[in-house]
Copies of this chain bind each other. A is one copy, B any other.
Amino acid sequence: MKVSVLGLGAMGSGIARNALRIDPSLLVWNRSAAKSAPLVAAGAHAAQSPKAAALERDIVLSMLADDSALEAVLEGPDGLLAGLAPGALHVSMSTIAPATAERLGERHRERGQRFIAAPVFGRPDAAAAAKLFIVAAGDPAECERARPLLEALGQRVFLVGERPAAANVVKLCGNFMILSAVEAFAEAMALARKSGVPAAQLVEVLTGSLFDCIAYRGYGSTLAQERFRPAGFAAPLGLKDMRLVAQAAEAQRVPMPLVGLLRDHLLETIALEGEDIDWSAIGRTIARHGGL
């Protein structure tokens, strides 16, 4: 199986490194070429363009920052669409709007190319350790074709339907639920602290009982220790995701009152703390509202 990886940020680099185990001839591409060097040192080959990375490949994975970065990689004379062979498969792992995924699928279909969406849950350390949770959707045969590769990148692969956009909906729902959990935990901590209960004690009880899971253990500890820099997931990226949720909710006519609240707390956090802070620093904003 001949594989390429487009996009070598913190997430894409870890993914590419694990993809090397499936295809030792792996091709990689990144907009700023310098990020290819460590992977080339590990055995991969650097392509000069998305098109070059796609030629004669079976599967091209992409992991870009946002919708417009991904669309820029697809289009144009040097783009992925121009290089991918008919029947070859593009696996889109970025967190993008469901509507964008539908549009991309259409673009590939026009050229006889295949497309599935496979966004992931997990931070860069999980990507490096092949511990991602991968949510895939699209034509079942194509999902099966990608499965050995995806299983090399994550600890579990979920299939959520035949329309690629379904995977992006689930991914956005997950990010929304993570930040909602942070919000609730932070509000509870503010009350606990002002009532004389240390935040760490609240975390111990709740993650030792009803909330004994990754999201609460991880963010509970981050909040209690106020470990917001360096950002594991920067607040402006979180704001972008909440905007995608709000747009999808508006398109589907679904009120989601928590989204407005989360968005406002992110805006305030960015306005007062700057752009380089973790999205969970809404907890600091919430604490400050209580005079802490």
A interface residues (Cβ-Cβ under 8 A, vs B): 98, 121, 133, 135, 156, 158, 160-161, 163, 165-166, 169-170, 172-174, 176-178, 180-181, 183-185, 187-192, 194-197, 201-202, 204-206, 208-216, 239, 243, 245-246, 248-250, 252-261, 263-265, 267-268, 270-272, 286, 289-291
Tell whether, in the assembled complex, residue A188 and residue B177 are in contact, meaning their CB atoms are under 8 Å apart. yes
Measured between C-beta atoms, what is the minimum distance from A78 to chain B in Å? 28
Interface of A is mostly: helix
Measured between C-beta atoms, what is the minimum distance from A62 to chain B in Å? 21
Q: Which of B135, B158, B213, B267 contacts A213 (CB 8 A)?
A: B213
Q: A160-B201, A250-B243 are in contact. Are A258 and B187 (CB under 8 A)?
A: yes
* Inter-chain contacts of A176 with B (CB < 8 A): 184, 187-188
Tell whether, in the assembled complex, residue B271 and residue A205 are in contact, meaning their CB atoms are under 8 Å apart. no
Sorted nearest first, the 10 A-B pairs with minimum C-beta distance are: A260-B260, A271-B291, A180-B184, A255-B264, A213-B213, A173-B188, A254-B290, A133-B209, A194-B252, A253-B271
Complex Cα distance A255/B248, Å? Answer: 20
